[in-house]
Amino acid sequence: MKTLFAALLVSASVASAEVPPLHATVGVSSQLFSARGYDLVDVDDHLVSFRLAAGTTFELSRLRLDVEAAFRAGGTATSAHASVPTSLELLGVEVAGVARWPVLPWLHPWLKVGVGYDWATLTLVNSTRLTQTTGLVAGQAALGVQVLVRLSRAEQRGVFFIADFGAGGVLRPAAVFDSVGPAPVVGPQADPLGARGRVNVGSLPLSGITLTWNAGLRF
Amino acid sequence: MTRALALMVVVLLAGCGRRGSLYDAALAPLPLVATASTVVQVVPQTRRAVIVKPQEAVPAAVRISAGARAAVRVPQREVVAVLGGTARAPLLDLVDVEARSAVSLELPGAFDRLSFSADGRFGLLTADAEVSVGLAARNLNEVGLVNVAAQTVTRLQLDTEGLSPRFVEFAPVVGGRRLVAVALERGVAVFDALHPEVAPRRIALRPAGSSVDAPVVELLFSRDTHWLFVRALGLDDVIVIELGAEVGAPLSASINFVAGGVGLADLERAPEATPDAVLATFTASREVVLLDARGIQDRVKRLPLPAALTLIAPLSPNRVLLWSLADRTVVVWDAVDGRSGVAALTGVPTRGFVLPGQERAVLTMATPGVRAGALNAVTVTDEPNRLRVRAQAVQLARPATAVALSGDGAAMFLAVPSLEAGPAAVVTLELATLALSEVVLDAQVSQLFFLPSAGQVVAEHGPAPLGDVSVLPAGTSDRLAVSRFTDFAFTGDLDRPEDAR
C-alpha cells in the first residue's frame, strides 16, 4: 500500500510538469431543510450526502480558480404516521467554480458557485411500496476555507493533501411528488390488472443550508 | 467577518431542527363515501377530502377544515358534507367533488350527526347524547337545518324534554311545505323546512293512562304528508299523528293509537289507492295488516302469515314483500285485491334488495355451518286467485361480503371470496335474465359502491385504513379493465397547511 501511494505521488509529480494542476476529493455534506414537509422523511432536518469531485486549477493574478465536477449521493429515512416507513434519496451531479485566495501557503479561503442537477426519490411503504423520482436543477454557493499540506518535495508543483470546510446554501425548485406509485413490474405477469393508480403526495422544498467537509489530493 | 460568522452559526443552529408532530399521528381516514361519479375519503389529519375518480389515475384532493369527524353524501348532488371544526367553533364543509372546491359554513352548535332529504335540498344536524365533545354544556335539543342550495344553516330549538334526537325523517314537498319529523326519546318534533322561522311542533307520545315513555324507532309520513305514523319500542299500537295543513303557521297535530295485532315489527306506506292507511307487520300474531289511520275497523285488511316475518317493503304500487332475517319464508301480498303468494328460500336471508320498478327482489343468504352462500331472486306472476312467487337460486362459492345495486336496478354486484379470507371476485348479476359474469380481484372486498354516472363499480379492499380500492366497469369480466388505487390517504401529505411544531 505504501509503495502504491509513493508511486502515485511520483507519477503525479512527473505528470504535473505537463498538465494543469488536478485535484480529487471525497467528502461529506449535510443539507439542512427546515420545510415542514421534510419531517415526513426525517427527524432532525439533516440530509447527509457523500460527495466525489475532481477538477483542475487555473492560476489568475492573485487567485486560484478551481473548476470541478462532482457527484453526490445521500438520503434519509424514518417512519411516519406511526408505522409507515418513508425515505428520501438525493442523487446529483454538479459543476462548480471555486475561487481561492492563498492568504497563506497552507490556508486558502474560498468562494464556490455551482450548478447541478439532482434526482430526488420519495418512497412510502404501506400496503405497497410507493415511489417517485423527480429531477431538479440546483444552484449553490458557499464560503469556506481550504487547508493544504504538502506531501512531496518537488519545488515547482508538489502533491498536496487538501482539507476544506465550507458552509453555504443550495437553491432548488420544490420537488413535486405528484405521481407516487408502485414501481412498474418488469417482465411478463400472469393475469395482471389493467392499471395502478398513483398518489399526489405534494411538493417538498429542498432549498436549504449546506455544510461540507472534503478531503483529497491536489497534484 | 466576525459578525458574518456569528450570523451563520445562528442560522445553522436554527436550521438544526427537531421533528414536528405533523407526521407522528397515524392517518385515520373516515369511511369512504360514494357520490354518483366518485368515491371520497376524508382524512382529518391531512385536512383533505381525497377524490378517487375512475377516469383519473391520480386522485385529487380538496382542502377542508380541521377536525373532520363525519362525512355524508348529499343525495342527488356531487357534494359531500363534512362535519368538522372544534366543539367551540364547529364547521360544516360542503365539498363539491366536481368543482374540486369546498365551502365552509359556521354552525350554531356542536353536532354529531347529519341527515339529508332524499332530494338533497335539506339536511338536519343533530347531537348525539352518547358523545362527549368536550364542552361544559351542550343543548341536545337544538338542531341545525342545512339549506344546501342557499348554503345556510338555521338553528332550531325543538323545545322538548327528550335527551336528544334519535333520527330524522323527511317528507316530500307537498302543498308548499316540507315537513321534517325528528324522533326523540320522548316524542316527536315536526317542523317545516321551508318555513324554519315557525317554531317546531312537539308531540308527546305517552299513551293515555301510561306513565312510561316509549322511544321512537320508526317514523313514516303518508304520501300526502297528512299522516305521520310512528312505531315505538314496546308498543303494539301504531301511533298515528294527524297533521294540519298549515303553511307558514304553527302546525296542528292530533294523536291516535291504532291497534292491529301483537308485536308490531315494521311499517310501510300503504298503496296509493288507500292513502289514509298504513301497512304494519306483527310478529307475535303473525300477520300483516293494512290499518286505517282513523281507526275505522271496517277498512282494515289482514293477511295471516306462515311465519313471524318482521320486514316489509314495497314491491310494486299495490304489493309488498314480507321476509325475515330468521326464517326462509317470503310472502308477497297485494293489499288492494287481497291476493298473496308464498315461497321458500334456499336459506335464511341476510340482506334484501327490493326493486319496486321491476316487481322483483333479491335476497342474499348464508346458511350456518355451510361454506357456500346463495342468493334468491324473487319474482311474482299473476294468477287468477293468487300470486305465484318464485325464488330462483344462484349459488355462491362463499357468502357475499358486500353487495351493491346499480342505479336503475338492472344489475346487482356481489363480492364473493374465492377462499376463506382470500381474494374476492366481483360478480355481476343481470337481474332481468339472471346472467352472471365475474372478475377476480387481488384482495378481499369489504364494501362495494356503484357509481351510476361513471358506470363503474368500486370495490373497497379491507381492512386498509389508508385506502385501497379497485375500480372496474360494471359487468366486466376482464382484469385488464380493472384499476387499483392504494394508499391515497397520503394525498397532499407534504402540503400540510398547519404547523404543529
Q: Indicate left, alpha or beta for A217 from its phi (over 0: left) and psi (-120 to 50: alpha).
A: beta
User: Would the CB atoms of A126 and B25 count as touching at under 8 Å?
Assistant: no
Residue A101 lies in domain = 20-178+203-218
Shortest CB distance from A201 goes to which of B45, B479, B493? Answer: B493
What does pLDDT average to over chain B?
A: 89
Q: What is the CA radius of gyration of chain B?
A: 26
| Cross-chain residue pair A127–B468, CB shorter than 8 Å | yes
Q: Is B137 on the interface with A (CB under 8 A)?
A: no
Is residue A46 in a domain?
yes
Distance between CA B50 and CA B102 in Å, rounded?
12
Q: Which residues of B touch A197 (CB under 8 A)?
A: 52, 57-59, 483-486, 488
* A179 in contact with chain B, both atoms CB, cutoff 8 A: yes
Does any domain span residue A13?
A: no
In this structure, is residue A122 part of a structural domain? yes
Q: What is the pLDDT of residue A184?
A: 78
Domain contains B424: yes
Largest CA distance in chain B: 107
Is residue B7 predicted with pLDDT exceeding 60? no
Q: Give every CB contact of residue B16 below 8 A, 6+ residues apart in sequence.
A: A32, A44, A45, A46
Mean pLDDT of B283-298: 91
Evaluate whether residue A103 is within a structural domain. yes
The Cα B255–Cα B229 span in angstroms is: 10
In this prediction, residues A190-206 reach a mean pLDDT of 89
Secondary structure of A73-122 as H, E, C letters = EEEEEEEECCCEEEEEEEEEEEEEEEEECCCECCEEEEEEEEEEEEEEEE
Q: Is the pLDDT of residue B38 over 90?
A: yes
Q: Do A37 and B16 touch (CB under 8 A)?
A: no
Nearest Cα residue in chain B from A80: B23
B57, part of any domain: no
Query: Cα distance from B23 to chain A (closest Cα, Å)?
Result: 5
Q: Is residue A55 part of a domain?
A: yes
Contact B493 A204 (CB under 8 A): no
CB contact under 8 A, A200 and B482: no
Domain for residue B432, yes or no?
A: yes
Q: Is residue A3 part of a domain?
A: no
Looking at the domain assignment, is residue B218 inside a domain? Answer: no
Cβ distance of A200 and B60 shorter than 8 Å: yes
Q: Is residue A5, in this structure, part of any structural domain at all?
A: no
pLDDT at residue number A32: 93
How many structural domains compose chain A? 1
Q: A 119-138 residues with CB below 8 A of B?
A: 124, 126-128, 130
Per CB-CB distance under 8 Å, the chain B contacts of A81 are: 23-27, 45
Q: Which residues from chain B sit within 8 angstroms of residue A44, using beta carbons?
A: 16-19
State the residue range of the domain holding B489. 403-494
**B423 in a structural domain:** yes
Q: How many domains is chain B partitioned into structurally? A: 1
Cβ contact (<8 Å) for B490 and A201?
A: yes
Question: Three cell numbers at A65?
Answer: 480558480
How do residues A85-139 score in pLDDT, each as one tens digit?
999 999 999 999 999 999 998 999 999 999 999 999 999 998 789 999 999 999 9
| A110 Cβ neighbours under 8 A, 6+ residues apart | A66, A98, A99, A100, A101, A143, A144, A145, A146, A164, A166
A167 touches chain B (CB under 8 A): yes
**B residues 465-494 closer than 8 Å to A (CB):** 466, 468, 470, 478-488, 490-494
**What is the average per-residue pLDDT within A12-25?**
69
- Measured CA to CA, the distance from residue B252 to residue A103 in angstroms comes to 100
Average pLDDT over residues A51-58: 94
Query: Is the complex ipTM higher than 0.90?
Result: no
Contact residues, chain A, for B22 at CB < 8 Å: 36, 39-40
Q: Do B482 and A81 touch (CB under 8 A)?
A: no
d(CA B219, CA B187): 11
pLDDT digits (tens, 9 = 90+) for B445-481: 999 999 999 999 999 997 778 999 999 999 899 999 9
Put simply, whether B5 touches A (Cβ < 8 Å) is: no
| Residue A8: per-residue pLDDT | 47
pLDDT band at A4 (very low <50, low <70, confident <90, very high): very low
- Contact check, Cβ <8 Å, B479/A177: no
Three-state secondary structure call for residue B467: coil
Contact (Cβ atoms closer than 8 angstroms) between residue B284 and residue B231: no
Pinpoint the alpha helices (H) of chain A.
2-15
Q: How many helices (DSSP H) and strands (DSSP E) are in chain A?
A: 1, 12
What average pLDDT does the segment B11-29 reach?
73
Q: Which of A44, A194, A199 sits opposite B19 (nearest CB)?
A: A44
Chain B neighbors of A83, CB-CB under 8 A: 26
pLDDT tier, A1 (very low <50, low <70, confident <90, very high otherwise): very low
Contact A194 B492 (CB under 8 A): no
Which residue from B minimizes the CA distance to A84? B26
Answer whether residue A44 shows pLDDT above 80: yes
- Could you tell me if residue A185 is inside a domain? no
Identity of the residue in A39, A81, A198 whose CB atom sits nearest the CB atom of B20 = A39
In a domain, B107, yes or no: no
In chain B, positions 25-54, which contact chain A (CB-CB < 8 Å)? Answer: 25-27, 45, 52
Contact B279, B273 (CB under 8 A): no
Whichever domain contains A90, its CATH number is: 2.40.160.20
Contact of B46 with B492, CB cutoff 8 Å: yes
How much is the average pLDDT of A170-189? 88
> From the list B486, B494, B495, which residue is nearest A128 (CB)?
B486
How far apart are the C-alpha atoms of A143 and A155, rounded to whole Å?
Answer: 30
Is B411 part of a structural domain of the chain? yes
User: Is B431 inside any structural domain?
Assistant: yes
Q: Which residues contact B379 (CB under 8 A, 6 or more apart)?
A: B359, B360, B389, B390, B392
Separation CA B288–CA B271 (nearest Å): 14
Question: Per this entry, what is the length of chain B?
Answer: 501
pLDDT in tens, B392-451: 988 888 888 899 998 788 899 999 987 766 789 999 999 888 899 999 999 999 999 999
Convert the pLDDT of each residue in B213-272 to its tens digit: 678 899 999 999 999 999 998 889 999 999 999 998 999 999 999 998 999 999 999 998
Closest approach of B399 to chain A, Cα-based (Å):
25
Alpha carbons within 13 angstroms on the beta-carbon side of residue B11 total 16
